[in-house]
Every structure is written in structure tokens, then in C-alpha cells.
Amino acid sequence: MVEKVNDINWIILSAFVMPIFLSVILIWFFISYQKKKYQYEVESKDAQLREQALIIEQQNSIQNERNRIATEMHDELGSGLTIIKYLSDGVVLKLADEHVREDVIKIAHYSTGLVRNMSEIIWAMNSRFDNVEGLFGYIRRYAVEFLEDHNIEHTFMAEDIKEQINISGEKRRNVYLVIKELLNNAVKYSGAKRILIEARSNPNLYIRIIEEGGIGFNPDESKELGNGLYNIQKRMEQIGGKILFCRKFEGMEISINLPITPDDSFKSEQNIQT
Amino acid sequence: METVLPYFTEMIPFNYICLIAFIVALYFHFQGKKSLPHLLLFLFVINFIEIFLIMFWIKQYKSNVLIYNIYSIFCVCYYLYVYFHHFWEKSWAKRFIILAIVWFVYALILFIYNLNELKVNTSSYNIGMIMVMVLVLKYFYDLIYVDKYRSIVKEPLFYFSLGLLIFYVSSFPLLNFINFFVVEDTAMLTYVKLLQIGNVFLALGYLGAAIWSKK
Amino acid sequence: MTDNKIKISIIEDLKDVAVSLQAIINTQDDMHCEHIFHNAEDAMQFIPNHKSDIIIVDIGLPRASGIDAINFLKEKCPQLLFCMFTVYEDDEKIFRSLQAGAKGYILKGASKEKILNSIRELYQGGSPMTPSIARRIIDIFSEMGLNPSPVRLPLTNREIELLTLLSKGLLYKEIGDQLNITIGTVKQHIHKIYDKLQVSNKTEAINKLNTNRGQ
């Protein structure tokens, strides 16, 4: 009888002790596991961030190296072209023959033009200029100077840009070159009397050139403009933009439409073409 | 068919889950997926024993103690095998195997010695299961303090270990003192019912291991 | 007599360019270029002992840079006017030269008339500016507004207006029309802005020095 009572006590005891022991183990396990999991997640996030930072650093250094190389090249070329220009200017004074003088003047002219082209390439490559406001300013300066030189009445209206909008070097360069070409056409072929340029950035980049007076042109038929127009189309396509030619009663209206994506300022310099 | 049917009607939840575990393991086996080493074979054997053999033995011999003794040795051997497989590279594993072998010999001898007695060999079962528990606890310990973090959600061994742990800890008192209650049938029925709850967790462990087959 | 002529010295390492520039200047009645230097060291040695009004400094000098020359000579002869001679208008170095004390720049590729006009304008107190330079100056001065340093010359409203219009790409003529002033006045405002830029640059440098010493 006494033995049995003892046994029952043992059983009751172990019946309580065992589940407690089990619960303790399980609780310990799950808490520790969650802690470990949390630590792991934090660490992997850290590692991810560090990896991203490393990638950004690498991209930056690549970009810096590219800028440096480009700058060096352009400096070298710039110096050489400058010498060509100055020597040509000196030679012109010593030449009697009109035709020869004209050719030498052309040499000087081309070398100065090259310097300007390279300046534009530097502008396009440098991410410092990766913003829409700067682009409008750059276009404005060129356009106003160009139209002034050719004695054409002009107005440039750019929307006030409140916050910085990023735009990649490739897009900037292509837009700028397209505008250059369009203005060149307007002056040389359309014979426009007045040119109005309008630039907006919301929601897409939108630039409109309105030519008043002059004959305008039919984009589908023009032969002289052939290559130029083809280039313009290609440039717009390359950056994912659209260009619309609209023939008016007296003149033309040309508009450029370009969506801007948020990751534009990091997109490269790899795609800059001359 | 008539002889087989009664076996199926006698099935308890533990049997059902074991059967499902077996079917699942079979299904994945045909898909080329594997879980714990030789799990399919193990599940086949225990299902066969649990569903058929034990009932058969009861009907024949009134008591299934003999079957249970050899069956429990078989189970412990399989558990030990699974964990030794997991801990194969560890330095202490080889030494531990020796211990296991010693136990096995002891269990066999005890079995043969008690062949004619209706006695559950709790000592050999306990020692065997305690060795298994040591391995299970080492497994959990490693998961937290030794190994790098890995997700246990899809790990078969985790469910298996969890099932074993809950089963053994909850049924330890009952299993150990079962010999003292063989006399009173009514009390025994209650305790057997309680044992079955513990068994369910064991079966769930088998099922969990079978479900997360991969490769 | 060379007394009322603008006295110009040139620091330029490309000999052909230097000689051509000298020739261009000497065709004019109101200016005269006596000395050419091909590197900064020679200039720094010679110029303090020989009176000049304007120094035209090539932006890409070998060895010691143009900026070093400006820093050195500005101390010795504070009344000297420095003008950078550069191939590209948006050169980063132009901005740094302006910060160091240059008051203008001439493009190497500009026409003779433009070069001579730039020199005259500079002598009369006017300076050129590009849109990008304007933006950078705006940025620098608004940055300073956030961290006030002991000596800081704020820009007048007029100057800020001017910088803003310049940064948008308006030409001097357009700005003049808009603000009802002549182009000459526009350029004189720019000249004063460069003065403030140089002062703020110096105070920044001194502050940095002081904070470093303090450590």
C-alpha cells in the first residue's frame, strides 16, 4: 500500500515536472531562434547596404575616372586646336591670295567649331549639369545668341522650375543637338521671321519651337533636310522621346516631348555619341 | 478483405497520422524528393506494425508487450540512425556510436531475457530514448549557438525532433511507470489515452518530416 | 609713352598662342603687353618687381598652377587684375580661379574683337559669367546662409536677381533690358559678386584652418 502511494506521488511529480521542463525548453528554443533570425536579418540588411554603397562608390569612381579621362583628352585637344586657330590667324595676315586666305580662315573656323563641340561633350558628360533647369539655360544661351547673330526676332519662355529635376547626360545632349539642328533649319531653309521657343518640364520635358513667317517645310518630303531630319528622329528615338512637326498657315510648329525617369542622373555617359 | 477491415476500424489518431505521413512520403518519393534517410522505409514498417501486426498479436496472444519491446528497439535504432546521420562529421559522433552499440546489445539481451515475461522493457527503452533526447537537444542547441542562421521552416529534421521531444517528455512518466499500472485495467485505459496524445505529436513529427521532402 | 596704356602680362605655356596674343594686344593703342611668361614660377618671380595692370593667366599651366600664381601675386600686388585664359567656358578650374581671386576669363577661341573687348571691360571693372558659374555662386551663398560664418558678405537683392537671371541663360543684353541697366552695369555687378566670392572663399579657408587648429 505504501509503495503504491509513493509511486502515485512520483507520477504526479513527474507529470508536472516534465511538461514544465518541456515548456522551458521550447520557450528557450523559440525565443533564441527568433533572436538569431532577427540578428541574421539585421546583418544581411547591413551587408546589402554596404554592398549597395560599394556599388555606388564604384560607379562614382568609374564616372570620375571617365570625367578625368575626357577632361584630359579635351584639354589636350583644346590646346592643340587653339594653336591651330592662332597660327591660322597669323597666316591669314601674311597671305595675299584671297582664295587661300578663305581656306585658311575655314581651318581656323573649323578648329574653333571643334572646341565648341568638345565643350558641349564635356557639358553632357559632367553629371554636375544633370538637371533640367541647367538644360533650359544652356539651350537658351545658344538659341538667343544664334538667333541674334542671324537677326531673327526671338522669344524664349522657360517655365520656372521650383525643384531640381534630374536628367541624364545622354538625354540632355540629344535634346540640345536636336534643338540646334531645328533652329539651324529654321534659319537656313524655312526663312522664318520670328521664332518663339517655349520650354516646360511638367509632367514631361516639353519644348516647342514656333516659327512665324517663312515657308516652313514638309518633313516627309524635304530632300535638303534629309540627313538632318533623320538624325533628329534617331536622336529622339534613342532617348525615348517624340517629335511632332506641324505645318501651319505661315510657318511651322515643332514640339519635342520627353518623359523623365527618376534614375536619370545615374544613367551613363556610356551612351554619349558624337 | 474481411480479415483486414477490423484492423482499419481499430485505428486511433496516431495511426491515421502515421498512415498519412507514409502516403505523403510515398508520393514525394515518386517525385524524386527525399526527406530523412530511409524515412519511407521506416514509415512503412511502423505503419505495418502499428496497424496490423500489433492488432494481430493482440488477437492472437492477448498481449502485445513482446511486439512493443522489439518495436521500441527498432524505433530507437531508427532515431539514433537519423541523428547520427545528421551529426556524422562531428568528432564526438564516433564515440557516441559506441555507446549506442553498447545500448543496442544491452537492449537485445534484455529482450531475450524477458522473452517469456509480460513486461515492458522500460529500462532499455528509457536509456535509448534518453540518448535520443541528448541528440535532439544537441540538435536544437546547435541550431541556436553553433550553426549559422538557417530557416527551419522547411527542415524535416526540425519537425521530427520537435515531435520526438514533445512525445517523449510528455509520455516519460506514463511510460516509465506503466508496469505499476498493468494490474488496474480501468486506470490503464485512461493512461493509454494520455499516451496516445503524446503519440499524436510523434506522428505529427513524422508527418512534418515527410511533408518537407526536397531535392 | 606707355603710361596711359593698360599694362598686360601673359602667363601662357603654349608659345605660339602667347606670342599671337601679345601681337593682338600690341596692335591696340590703349594697351600694351611687355612680358610673357611660360610658367607660374617665372611669373611669380618677375611680376612683383614690374608694374602691371592685368595678368592673363592660362588655366592649364605646367607645374605650379595658375591658381597658385594668383594666390601668391594677389598678396604681393593687391591691385592686380587677373583674367583666366581658357579653352572651355565651363571649365571647373575657372570657378576655382574665381574663388581664388580672378575677375574674369577669356576664351582662347574667341575672336580678336571679343578678346580685346574682354580686356577693356575687365579694366573698367566688368566681368563675364556663365549660367553654370551663376548657379554655383547661388548655391555657395545659400549654403553659407545655413551655416553663418563670422564674416560673410551677403549678396544684395540686386545681385541675387542678376545671378538668377544669368543662371537661366539670359544674355547680358536681356538682363540689362529686364533690369533697366546697361550691359556694362551688369558686368560691373558681376565683378563685385566675384569680389564677395573671393572674400567668402578666404574666410572659409581661415575658418577651416582655425577649426583644425582648435582640434
In a domain, C11, yes or no: yes
Among A166-175, C134-143, C172-181, the range scoring the smallest mean pLDDT is: C134-143
Q: Which domains are assigned to chain A? A: 129-274 (3.30.565.10)
Chains contacting B (3+ CB pairs below 8 angstroms): A
Residue A19 to residue B143, Cβ atoms within 8 A: no
Across residues B134-153, what is the average pLDDT? 89
Q: Write the DSSP symbol of residue B149.
A: P
Residue A74 to residue C88, Cβ atoms within 8 A: yes
Residue C169 to residue A90, Cβ atoms within 8 A: no
The alpha carbon of residue C103 is apart from the nearest alpha carbon of chain A, in Å, by 22
Q: Which of B159, B165, B152, B163 is nearest to B210 (CA)?
A: B159
CB contact at 8 A, B73 and B45: no
* Interface A:C, Cβ pairs < 8 A: 84
Shared-domain flag, residues C115 and C18: yes
**Rounded percentage of chain C residues whose pLDDT exceeds 70:** 91
Shared-domain flag, residues C100 and C26: yes
Shared-domain flag, residues C116 and C175: no
CB contact at 8 A, C147 and C59: no
Residue C20 to residue A89, Cβ atoms within 8 A: yes
Residue C132 to residue A145, Cβ atoms within 8 A: no
In a domain, C1, yes or no: no
CB-CB neighbors (< 8 A) of A140 in chain C = 168-170
Contacts of A11 (CB under 8 A, 6+ apart): B173, B174, B177
Among A217-226, B118-127, C60-69, C164-173, the range scoring the smallest mean pLDDT is: A217-226
State the pairing for strand pair C54-58/A153-158. unpaired
CB proximity A129 to C under 8 Å: yes
Domain boundary, last residue among C106, C123, C140: C123
Shared-domain flag, residues C15 and C83: yes
Shared-domain flag, residues C150 and C76: no
Is the model's pLDDT at A144 over the cut of 80?
yes
Shared-domain flag, residues C112 and C138: no
How many domains are there within chain C?
2
* CATH assignment of the domain containing C48: 3.40.50.2300
CB contact at 8 A, A252 and A246: yes
How many domains are there within chain B?
1
| Cross-strand pairs, C6 | C31
Contacts of C64 (CB under 8 A, 6+ apart): C39, C40, C41, C44
Domain boundary, last residue among C87, C107, C123: C123
Residue A148 to residue C171, Cβ atoms within 8 A: yes
Q: What is the pLDDT of residues B95-141, one digit of tens each?
A: 889 999 999 999 999 888 888 777 778 888 889 999 999 999 999 99
In a domain, C54, yes or no: yes
In a domain, C86, yes or no: yes
Shared-domain flag, residues C56 and C75: yes
Shared-domain flag, residues C51 and C157: no
* Rounded alpha-carbon distances, angstroms, from residue B58 to B10, B122, B184, B185: 12, 20, 18, 15
More confident position, A192 or A8: A192
N-terminal to C-terminal alpha carbon distance within chain C: 57
- In this complex, the residue of B137, B170, B173 whose CB is nearest that of residue A11 is B173
* Rounded alpha-carbon distances, angstroms, from residue B177 to A190, B28, C189: 109, 39, 104
State the pairing for strand pair A251-258/A242-248. antiparallel
Confidence of residue A273 (pLDDT cuts 50, 70, 90): very low
List the domain range (segments joined by +) for residue C107.
6-123
Cell of C184: 556694362
Shared-domain flag, residues C99 and C172: no
Shared-domain flag, residues C181 and C115: no
Shared-domain flag, residues C118 and C136: no
In a domain, C204, yes or no: yes
What CA–CA distance (Å, rounded) separates B95 from C139? 74
Is the model's pLDDT at C112 over the cut of 90?
no
The alpha carbon of residue A38 is apart from the nearest alpha carbon of chain B, in Å, by 10
| Cross-strand pairs, B210 | none
Domain boundary, last residue among C70, C105, C123: C123
* Rounded alpha-carbon distances, angstroms, from residue C52 to B11, C6, C33, C43, C77: 113, 8, 9, 12, 9
Q: What is the pLDDT of residues C80-93, one digit of tens each?
A: 899 999 888 877 78
Neighbours of A240 (CB within 10 A): 11
List the domain range (segments joined by +) for residue B154.
5-211
Per-residue b/e over A93-108, b at no fewer than 16 CB within 10 Å? eeeeeeeeeeebeebb
Confidence of residue A215 (pLDDT cuts 50, 70, 90): confident
Q: Which of B81, B97, B96, B88 is nearest to B39 (CA)?
A: B81
At position B26, the amino acid (one-letter code) is L
Give the chain B residue nearest A32 (alpha carbons): B144
CB proximity A25 to B under 8 Å: yes
Residue B144 to residue A10, Cβ atoms within 8 A: no
Shared-domain flag, residues C114 and C184: no
Across residues B160-174, what is the average pLDDT? 86
Among A11-25, C101-115, C124-138, the range scoring the smallest mean pLDDT is: A11-25
* CATH assignment of the domain containing C148: 1.10.10.10
CB proximity C93 to A under 8 Å: no
What CA–CA distance (Å, rounded) separates A117 from A109? 12
Residue C87 to residue A79, Cβ atoms within 8 A: yes
